[in-house]
Amino acid sequence: MGCHSSIKPHWQLEQVQLFLSNFSLDGQPQALSKETVGASKYQQASVALLGSDCQGEQNWLLSFDKALKPGLMTFELGVPFELNHGNPLLAETPLNQSDMFWTWQQGHKFLRIDLAKTLLTEPAVGKQTGWQFHLGSVACQSASVMRSPTQACKQPNRAKFSLDYQGQHQLNLDLAVLLAPLLDDPQLSQQSCMSDSASKTCQLLFSRLGLGQALPFETQQLSINAIEPVAPLWWFN
């Protein structure tokens, strides 16, 4: 799925970017590489930025420090707490992308999905022109929004995933599994989600991500495609 791809009728992709982190294989941490050409711009040892910004660049490649062996792979959609609340002016790539950051207190947007309405039969004034889902930690306590919390946020919102890795080189992300139930609902699709757990829109999205539990789903280097069949949110092929 590329820039300006249609998600559902009347909806078009403008931006989808996400941080993945804390990769492990059979319980052993798997470091990401910064030596592969282009990798240093999009990943550190424990976190990578993937996705497409239709106003800028895109990256759908993960590069690991060592070859992966078959086993149970786990990872998180999110930025680890110890990296999430640093000074944005001092952040190293890929954590220095300003539109993927909220505040020192809340940290980074772990997932950003921006959609635009493709068919507006009336003037856009007063009409819904887009929809957004920005996932990140909330209920973070610190002296001010310009200070980092010293303890974990009450709602860290890091989604954990696990899968059976058998040497495949492509990990697929199905945005339809995440978004279709919401975009098919005229009322829910009126409200964007900025990680407010009281929002019905956010509640549906959180449940699709399996927040709070490790969900099974059906990288050397793994290329990641955002495509639209059925079945799990993530899978290998």
Tokens of 7: 């998600």
**93 assigned to some structural domain:** no
Paired with 94 in beta bridges are none
Give this prediction's pTM: 0.88
Q: Each residue of 137-165: pLDDT tens digit?
A: 999 999 999 999 999 999 999 999 999 99
**Contact between residue 15 and residue 53 where contact means Cβ atoms under 8 Å apart:** yes
**92 assigned to some structural domain:** no
**101 assigned to some structural domain:** no
**76 assigned to some structural domain:** yes
**1 assigned to some structural domain:** no
**89 assigned to some structural domain:** no
Q: How far apart, in whole angstroms, are the C-alpha atoms of residue 49 and residue 44? A: 9
**147 assigned to some structural domain:** no
Element spanning 139, H or E: none
Average pLDDT, the chain: 85
pLDDT at 190 over 80: yes
Residue with tokens 């989600």: 193
Paired with 114 in beta bridges are 15, 132
- What's the structural domain count of the chain? 1
Q: Each residue of 93-148: pLDDT tens digit?
A: 999 999 999 999 999 999 999 998 876 555 555 577 899 999 999 999 999 999 99
% of the chain with per-residue pLDDT over 70: 81
**Contact between residue 170 and residue 236 where contact means Cβ atoms under 8 Å apart:** yes
**198 assigned to some structural domain:** yes
Range of the domain at 79: 11-83+110-138+157-236
Closest CA to 47 of 137, 108, 135, 113: 108
Torsion sign across C-alpha atoms 163, 166, 169, 170: negative
**Contact between residue 113 and residue 132 where contact means Cβ atoms under 8 Å apart:** yes
% of the chain with per-residue pLDDT over 90: 55
